[in-house]
Amino acid sequence: MNVKGIIFDFGFTLFSFENPSVEKYFDCFKRGLLKSIDILKDKDILEEDDELVKDFINIFNKKRANSFRLAMKTKDEFPTTLLFRTVLTILKEKGYNINYDIIEDEFLEEMAELYHSCEESEWKPFDETKATLEALSNISSLKIGLISNHPNHKTIKNMLESNNLDQFFNVIVTSAKFGKRKPNPDIFLYTLKKMGLEKHEAKDCIMVGDEAADAVGANRVGMQIVLKKRDYEFPYEREITIPNIIEIKSINEVLNYIS
């Protein structure tokens, strides 16, 4: 196949999360949230008040669960920065003494980054990821993109940068930045466009992912799907029933499908 563009998913496609479990995810987020709250205390935005911190954590977790459920249903992303802004606003409305007039975007970004920092250290590229991207980037006619469903753009950028992988991508798109999640076809079309490719060229492009959101979205815009088999099964995983899917076990096998 004369491939014009290839788009990768991030989690379990290029990067792996060691021994994933619901408990481990929750523990990571719990630790991250405490770091974010500490910075609010350091900057004297929050007072040392156990009741306030308890309320902060409760409201944050409730809002996070709600926004995640909503994001799954509507495919609209609810960024972590917005989550922090919402929680601070609610606490202020509840009458807590919270010292800010305007919350700067930069500050919300810093909190979101801290919140996801534990998760950030758990994701590691697969052994074959770098060599595969390097080989693909040597094909001058090929454009390389990434689409990740993640509520914080900076977290994905950080993980690519700290592993020296950002250099291989022409385009890096996250649902946090775009506003919609895979499998919404708009995020695929937007990424292709940013890669310099037209809608009708989608059929000459490959989407490499590990789950239904990748396959269904790519199929909607007419891309070829390469499914990377995962060692772990997700809870409530959707079955993929799209025909003509190429299945691979290791990421370097995508090289066999590019001429």
For Mg ion, the binding residues (CB under 5 A) are 9, 11-12, 210
Nearer to Mg ion, 84 or 123 (CB): 123
Residue 11 C-beta: closest distance to Mg ion, Å: 4
Nearer Cβ to Mg ion (37/251): 251
Output the 3-class SS for the chain: CCCCEEEECCECCCEEECCCCHHHHHHHHHHHHHHHHHHHHHCCCCCCCHHHHHHHHHHHHHHHHHHHHHHHHHCECCCHHHHHHHHHHHHHHCCCCCCCCCCCHHHHHHHHHHHCHHHHHHEEECCCHHHHHHHHHCCCCCEEEEEECCCCHHHHHHHHHHCCCHHHCCEEEEHHHHCECCCCHHHHHHHHHHCCCCHHHHHHEEEEECCHHHHHHHHHHCCEEEEECCCCCCCCCCCCCCCCCEEECCHHHHHHHCC
CB of 27 to Mg ion, least distance (A): 21
Nearer to Mg ion, 40 or 116 (CB): 116
Least distance from C-beta 196 to Mg ion, angstroms? 25
Which residue number has the CB closest to Mg ion? 11
Closest to Mg ion by CB, 8 or 107: 8
Task: Give min distance, CB of 35 to Mg ion, in A.
Answer: 25
Distance of closest approach, residue 14 Cβ to Mg ion, in angstroms: 9
Nearer to Mg ion, 15 or 107 (CB): 15
